[in-house]
Amino acid sequence: MENAPIYEDMLIYEVFPEVKRKGIDGLEKASISTLKTEDEVDFFLVLQFDPLDAVKSFAGENYKKAYIPDNAKRVLLRYDTNAQHFDLKKELILS
């Protein structure tokens, strides 16, 4: 639990800015959600790319493998090794 703020800052100030600095076109937005339980904090990240080729540019040909930087691996207790890719069908703004 104590590493959750470290990881969140890492995502905001290191990981995603580095992706943009690399000139990865197509990464439109990144969302960070958390779920706090008794003994840990789960992170749920949604990266919105357009088109799918942008995902491959970011993650490489093995784009179904989760991208976890080495410095993130040092602060995470566990993480998914595979990435899931969904097609965005509709986004509704309900304001």
Nearest partner of 42 among 84, 90, 88, 77, judged by Cα: 77
Judge if pTM exceeds 0.85.
no
Match 């339980």 to its residue by tokens: 37
DSSP class of residue 81 equals S
- Which run of H or E residues covers position 11? none
> Which residue ranges make up each domain of the chain?
4-73
In this predicted structure, what is the pLDDT of residue 55? 83
Q: What is the pLDDT of residues 17-35, one digit of tens each?
A: 888 887 778 888 899 999 9
Rounded Cα–Cα distance for residues 20 and 29 (Å): 11
pLDDT higher for 60 or 31? 31
Q: Reduced to 3 states, what is the DSSP secondary structure of residue 73?
A: helix
Mean of the per-residue pLDDT values for the chain? 90
Which has the higher per-residue pLDDT, 34 or 16? 34
User: Which of 36-45, 50-59, 61-70, 76-85 is least confident?
Assistant: 50-59
